[in-house]
Amino acid sequence: NAGVTQTPKFQVLKTGQSMTLQCAQDMNHEYMSWYRQDPGMGLRLIHYSVGAGITDQGEVPNGYNVSRSTTEDFPLRLLSAAPSQTSVYFCASSFSRTGELFFGEGSRLTVL
C-alpha cells in the first residue's frame, strides 16, 4: 500500500492563479481531510469528508473548495490564490470516524 499520496510536493503560484492539490489513498478509508500547517499555529482543519459525496467545512475553509467523487480521492482547489495561503498542506485519512489519522507527506505551496 502506498498510503496517502499527495501531489505536487512543491508549488509556486502567483496571486490570483488557481490550482488543485491532489490527494489519494489506497487504504479504503472513508474519512479524509485537509490541514494546513503554519509556523507557530499547528495544524488547522480546512475541509473534511466522511465518505464519497459528503464534504464539510473545518476551521479555515475560506478560499478553498473540495469534492469527493470517489472513496480514494479528495482534491483541494484554490480558485484564486492569495499570499495568505502560503503554507504546507497535509491530506489525512482514517478508516473510521475515531481512528488514527494517516497523513500524506505534505505539499509546500508558496503564493507570490
Kindly list the residues in this chain that would bind other proteins in the complex (CB under 8 A).
31, 33, 35, 40-45, 48, 58-59, 90, 94, 96-101, 103-106
The angle formed by the CA atoms of residues 53, 28 and 50, to the nearest 5 degrees, is 35
> Any residues with CB less than 8 A from the CB of 53 and at least 6 apart, and which?
68, 69
Nearest residue (CB) to other proteins, 14 versus 96: 96
DSSP lists the bridge partners of residue 47 as: 34, 57
CB of 92 to other proteins, least distance (A): 8
DSSP state of 101: P
CB of 78 to other proteins, least distance (A): 21
- Quick count: other Cβ atoms within 10 Å of Cβ 73? 14
CB of 41 to other proteins, least distance (A): 6
Nearest residue (CB) to other proteins, 29 versus 81: 29
